[in-house]
Amino acid sequence: MSRRISWVDVGITIFVLAAAILCILPFIHITAISFSSNNAAAAGWVGLWPKQFTTSSYEFVMQRTEFWRAMWVSFQRVAIGGALSLLMCILVAYPLSKESRQFRMRTVYAWIFFLTILFEGGLIPWYMVIKQLGLINSIWALVLPVAVPVFNIVLLLNFFRQLPKELGEAAFVDGAGHWTLLWRIYVPVSAPAIATITLFIIVQHWNSWFDGLILMNHPDKYPMQSYLHTVVINRDISLLSMSDQSAFQHISERTLKSAQILLGALPVLVVYPFLQKYFAKGIIIGSVKG
C-alpha cells in the first residue's frame, strides 16, 4: 500500500535539506576563496564562486619537494598506523566481548582500558616515555602511542556482543577454535563496525599535527598536517626558499588557509564514499550496549 505523505514528512525533509545546505555552504565558500586572487580575498568579494580565478595558492603549497615528502610521511603513517590500530582493536575487542563466565577477568580488563579514557598521564610523561623508548624522530613515534584506540575498541566489542551466540556455538561444535571463530566468522560479519572504526583511525592519523611538531626533530620528518601548520599558520620562513618567501607578497593568507583545509580534507573525502554505507549502521549498533 502506498504511504500518504504528511506535513510532518515534508517538514522533516525540508529541515534535513536545510541542515545539509548549511553544512555544505562553508565548504563551497572555502573552495571559492582558495581559487581566488589575493586582492579579491582580501577585499571580501568572494562568495560561493571564485573571483579572479587562480591556482597560485595550490601551486605555492604543492610545487615543492618538502610538500610531497610530508605527504609521503602521512601516507606511511596512515598505512602503518591504520593497519596496526585496526589489528589491535580486533584482538582486544574479541575477548572483551565475551561474558564473564567465558572470560573471568573480562570486567577487570575492560575497566583498565576504560580508565585510560578518563585519565591520562599528561604531556610530559607521554613525551618522556616515547623518548626513553628511542622512538623520537621516527615514524613509530607517530604510530605506536595511538596504536590502541580505546573508544574504537568499545564500539567494536559492543558490535561483537550483538552477534548471535549461535554462530560461535555452531563453530565450536564443528571444531573451530577462538582464532578461527574470530577471523572466519566475527570479522566478516562485522563489516559495518570495522569500516566505521577504520574511518575514525584514518581521520585521526591524517589530521594529527601536534605530535609531529614535538616528536620530529627535523622538518623533513613532518607529516603533511604538521608541515602545513608550520609553513602556513606559523609562517616559519626557515622551511622556505627565497622564492617561497617572496611569494607571500602575492598570496593572501586566507587563500593559503583555504587551500590547506581542502588539501587536508581531500584524502578523507576520497575514502569516505567507500565506507559511508557502513558508517551509520556501525555507529548505531556499536553504541547500543555498554
Kindly report, residue by residue over 67-124, the tens digit of the pLDDT.
888 889 999 999 999 999 999 999 999 999 888 888 888 888 988 888 888 888 888 9
pLDDT 10s digits, 232-286:
666 554 545 445 555 555 567 778 778 877 887 788 788 777 766 666 555 555 4
- Distance, in Å, from the CA atom of 217 to the CA atom of 49, rounded to the nearest integer, reads 41
User: CATH 1.10.3720.10: which residues of the chain?
Assistant: 62-286
Closest CA to 201 of 138, 133, 151: 151
For domain 62-286, give its CATH number from 3.40.1390.10, 3.40.50.300, 1.10.10.10, 1.10.3720.10. Answer: 1.10.3720.10
156 φ, ψ (degrees, to nearest 5): -70, -40
Distance (Å, whole) CA 201 – CA 83: 9
pLDDT of residue 118: 85
Residue 289 — very low, low, confident or very high, per pLDDT cuts 50/70/90?
very low
pLDDT at 215: 92
Type of residue at 13: T
Going by C-alpha positions, the residue among 185, 155, 153 that lies closest to residue 172 is: 185
**250, HSE (Cβ side, Cα atoms, 13 Å):** 12
Side chain identity, residue 132:
Q
pLDDT surpassing 60 at residue 288:
no
Question: Residue 78: which of 196, 200, 261 has the closest Cα?
Answer: 200
Res 102: pLDDT: 83
The most distant pair of C-alpha atoms in the chain lies apart, rounded to whole Å, by: 73
CA distance 155 to 197: 8
All three cell numbers of 196, joined, read 566505521
Q: Cell numbers of 81, please?
A: 598506523
